[in-house]
Structure 1
């Protein structure tokens, strides 16, 4: 077979260029650590790497949102813990002041302390996170949710929704609280009904107060107090040795109060220290029970009605107003004691509301932490898969590089030696 000089040059040059290209490719892999520098070399692996990169990007966004959600939830829980501590302090103050031996000056000092407690509660409810967003504004996180008015009332400017963040595929996590549910819509009394003393009691010589009471039959209580909106008036007669219970609808003592025939549902002698049972109808089974402390006198009356929402701020204000009252007679002292008793019942409900919200936040925080752990595991798994596809084996590539470099150098040396061969060198 005859090989022309031109063919030899062409073949040798093509071989060296191919070796040079291989060497350049190996050099690029060594410098970048990436085996897929040229997508055309392995289209399937390159497509898999791109898919894994997209998944890793999504997981990174989820993790960032997850961290933000955990920070907000931890902040909310911490603030509510402070609120709970503040409520406990106010409860202790109310118990201390609900004593006949407390002086008027002590009550005024306590009233001043309650003004500061109310301001502190508003400040806690207006807590902002690191981004300046209000954590108790619902979805209106850019708006200050609670505003203390000049008259001492607190107005809620947020909404009833919750702001959510996506912390995983298809998983939205509520990260803010609706301040209306936490601070504003707290059921008063014992959560089912309230007890209030008639205004006329302040002019009597009686010392009777009624506690928050208890529900004996929840079904009957719901039917009578919520569905039918019935109220019950307990009135003492004959120097407090007897009482009657009247049922009606509307506002007790107003023109709308329904006291038609048959509304007296119970009447009995009163034994000091006993609880009074309230039946739904005359002769019926008691479905409510209300304890009585002190000694009632003829004409003293109390009203039992369904619980209505009341804010924690209002409860603080009620205690401040009760402590600020300057009345000193038996009736005034009894009215103050009844007001403080009602405040203590409302504070119990407020504490229950706060603890319930804390429990909900704790459950969400635990879920966020579990999702974060899962996202971290998936991230490591995808990174490992991506590395197996795209990362080079340095020992293997270095060996291939050395082999290719040696082959290229040998080809270049052989080509140079063959290129110098000529028959004229052998003719002397």
Structure 2
């Protein structure tokens, strides 16, 4: 077989170039640590690496959202703990003022304290995170959600939604709470029904020039539910109301409970009603109330004190409606402003404080439930964060197994290729110098 000089040169040059390319590729692998310098050499491995890179990037994004979510949830939890501390202080103050021995100075100091507490509560409800976002405003998070009005009322300017962040594939967690659910829509009373005292319980209006006189020290409630299903049927489904009347007549102390549906005006019970239970009254007793005459009691209310001779104290039990915790603070301010010194004033304050304490207890329940939910969300986010970290590490390991260089192996290949290239170059030079004329003398 005859090999032309041109063919020899082309074949040798092609071989040298291939060896140089191989050596250059191995050199880049050693310098970068990446075994996939040329995707065409391993298209399957390169596709796997691209897929793993995408998954790792997505997990990194989830981890950033998770960190932000945990920060928001932790701030909300911390804020609600501060709110709980404030509630405890308000409850202690209310109990202290529920005493006939307090004087006008004590009450005025309590009013000042409660006004400061109301402002502090609004401030806590308007807490912002590090980005200036109001955490209790729902989706409307750029303006203060709670605004204190000049008349002492508080309006909620946010909405009922919650902001969420995706912290994993198909998994989201809330990073804020709707402020109206926490602070505005708190069931009043014991959560099922409320106790409202008639204004005539505390002072008989002066008539015919006579001097108004106190009418006793009767208080009622807040009461509790014995059968929730019946209570829901009566108060929610049937919109029933109950009037408790405690009378001091010549025959002695008695009580009567009437039921009906309708409104209660300033003169007392106005609905068509029927007696469901009655009996002799003993101050401090609990009155068990059935829905119908002779039926089983479904709720009970505690009592205290008694009306003066010839007078009747009246109380209305109606379905509990939502009330803001800000309104409860305002109710306590009004109760402390009512003054002291007379049995009627002390009794009114005692009844108002009793109602406010019942509302505060309901808010505490809402607060604890919200904190428990936030704690659960934080635990879930932490678990997902740990899972995402493990997945990221696994994907990085898988990517390394495909793309990372095995230095001992590549160094060996580099040395072999370098030796082969040097040998090929030397052989090419030697063969290049051969000529037939060298052998003709």
TM-score (norm 1): 0.96
8 Å CA contact 1:248–1:257 kept in 2: the answer is no
Q: Residue 294 of structure 2 aligns with which residue?
A: 283
Q: Give the deviation of 1:236 after TM superposition.
A: 2.1
1:401 aligned partner: 414
Q: 2:303 corresponds to which residue?
A: 292
2:230 matched to 1:231?
no
Is this contact kept in 2: 1:207–1:295, CA < 8 A? yes
1:157 is matched with which residue?
157
Partner of 1:300, secondary structure, is strand
The 5 A counterparts of 1:205-244 are 205-239=215-249, 241-244=253-256
Distance 1:173 1:403 in 2: 57
Contact residue 211 and residue 291 of structure 1 kept, 8 A: yes
Q: Secondary structure at the match of 2:134?
A: coil
Q: Secondary structure at the match of 1:266?
A: strand
**3-state SS of paired residue (1:243):** strand
Query: Bigger CA drift: 140-149 or 156-165?
Result: 140-149
Residue aligned with 2:312, SS: coil
The answer to whether the 8 Å contact 2:227/2:299 transfers is yes
Match among 273, 284, 302 for residue 273 of structure 1: 284
Indicate conservation of the 8 Å contact 2:246/2:306, yes or no.
Answer: no
Is residue 248–residue 307 contact of structure 2 (8 Å, CA) maintained in 1? no
Q: Which SS does the other structure have where 1:172 is aligned?
A: strand
Specify the SS of the correspondent of 2:71.
helix
Per the TM alignment, residue 257 of structure 1 is displaced from its structure 2 partner at its CA by 5.7
1: CA distance, partners of 2:424 / 2:46: 33
**Residue 5 of structure 2 aligns with which residue?**
5
Across the two proteins, how many residue pairs are aligned to each other? 427
Does 1:411 find its partner at 2:424?
A: yes
Find the counterpart in structure 2 of residue 172 from structure 1.
Answer: 172
Q: State the partner residue of 2:210.
A: none
TM alignment of 1:178-189, pairs within 5 A: 178-189=178-189
**C-alpha displacement of 1:141:** 2.0
What is the CA–CA distance in structure 1 between the aligned matches of 2:177 and 2:151, rounded to whole Å?
26
Aligned to 1:301: 314
Counterpart for residue 420 of structure 1: 433
Question: Is contact 1:192–1:307 with CA below 8 Å preserved after alignment?
Answer: yes
Report the Cα distance in structure 1 between the residues aligned to 2:268 and 2:57, rounded to whole angstroms: 66
1:315 and 2:325 aligned: no
**Distance across 2 between alignment mates of 1:386 and 1:12:** 38
SS in structure 2 of the partner of residue 289 of structure 1:
strand
- Map 1:380-391 to 2 at 5 A: 380-391=393-404
Structure 2: how far apart are the matches of 1:257 and 1:101? 33
Listed as ranges, the gaps of 5+ residues in structure 2 are 204-213
TM-score, structure 2 normalization: 0.93
**Tell me, which stretches of 5 or more residues in structure 1 are unaligned?**
none
SS in 2 for 1:162: coil
Does 2:59 match 1:59? Answer: yes
Q: Which moved more, 1:288-297 or 1:114-123?
A: 288-297
Structure 2 equivalent of residue 343 of structure 1: 356
Which residue in the other structure is 1:197 paired with? 197
C-alpha separation between the residues in 1 aligned to 2:184 and 2:166? 28
Confirm or deny that 1:251 pairs with 2:263. Answer: yes
What is residue 44 of structure 1 aligned with on the other side? 44
Q: Give the SS at the match of 1:238.
A: strand
Q: Secondary structure at the match of 2:265?
A: coil
**Contact 2:196–2:317 (Cα < 8 Å) also in 1:** yes
**Displacement of 1:327:** 4.7
Compare 390-399 and 152-161 and name the one that shifted more: 390-399
SS in 2 for 1:244: strand
Equivalent position SS for 1:242: strand
Q: Which residue of 1 aligns with 2:98?
A: 98
Contact 1:246 1:259 in 2 (8 A): no
> Counterpart in 1 of 2:83?
83
For the residues of structure 2 that align with 1:202 and 1:295, how far apart are their CA atoms?
11
Alpha-carbon distance between aligned partners in 2 of 1:10 and 1:318, rounded to the nearest angstrom: 101
Distance 2:422 2:20 in 1: 10
Q: Deviations over 1:143-197 (max 9, x none)?
A: 3211111111010111111111111111121221111111111111111111121
Offset, 1:235: 1.5
Report if the CA contact (8 A) 1:250-1:256 is conserved.
no
Distance in 2, Cα, partners of 1:237 & 1:325: 25
